[in-house]
Amino acid sequence: MIRLIPFFIVEFLLIFFVFVLLFFKAYLDENITTKKLIFIPKGSTTQTLSYLEKNFSQIGPFDRYLIPFFGYLQAGWIDLQSNSLTRAEFLYKLTHSKVALKSITLIPGETKDIFFQEVAKKFDLNITLLYQEYDKLAPYPDGVLVANTYKVPIDINEKSLIKFLVDYSLSWHKNFALKVFNKYDQKEWFEKYVTIASIIQKEAVLVSEMDLISAVIYNRLKIGMKLQMDGALNYGKYSRKKITSKRIRDDDSQFNTYKIPALPPHPICSVDENSINAALAPADVNYLYFVKSTDHKHNFTHSYKEHLENINKLRNMK
């Protein structure tokens, strides 16, 4: 014989159920104030919840039981995108928000040394570790990293950051070479084309003149003439230094193209697609000289006599 549940018990359960629903609705609709960026450590759900309960006053007594209904907690720095949320929105974002990212830009023509100084400061990283990790992975001291704007997690460490940058850049270089040559010779690519591109990057102000500067480099190399380009001396820590006659006399490195009748041994800075295109396809001209004019353009010539005249004209205009 089936026993029926007394009506008053059913009524009590319904009232209790409605009360619970209304309570949790009010609880989840509660407005809370929080930081946009919060850190959630890696670990088991229990460990993470304990951390949140200890470090965030926004975590209420029931959240431990509610969070699993929303999803899995993220790890690392996450971006909640707002300072003011309902509790339901807060719990949802704890389990669904994207990792907080920060942008870093490596501008065309910048050296690794200057870039690492900026990265270490922006991400509070150890610059010595950045160099150590780079030396483990990169085939050349400079010019490997591609000029670009990168978005990386704000809590990234030195090893992960360098691996990301080097892996991306080497893949970029390889794909570029394959598009042009249908093969990839890393030594030739970096020691010839990227090295030439890096000098072009330092010398050119205008993209429209890159292929002309490239032509001067190739023309001089062809006849065994020293490149004599200031940009090659803007390597490493000297990236933003003005090149003086004293510096030219005193620098005995392989980057001093006033002294060596060849290319430097490797690229001197980051490059972009424009400078590499110029290094791959120099203009069909016979220029051997150029000097910067007052409008940031260059005066090009094949004649040394005309080159001296261009220099004198510029001196007289100052």
Sign of CA dihedral 132, 134, 135, 136: positive
Per-residue pLDDT at 8: 63
The tens digit of pLDDT for each residue in 129-170 reads 999 999 999 999 999 999 999 999 888 899 999 999 999 999
What residues contact residue 156 under an 8 Å CB cut-off, 6+ apart? Answer: 123, 164
Angstrom distance (rounded) from CA 232 to CA 314: 23
Q: What is the pTM of this model?
A: 0.79
Which residues of the chain fall below pLDDT 50?
A: 1-2
Per-residue pLDDT at 1: 46
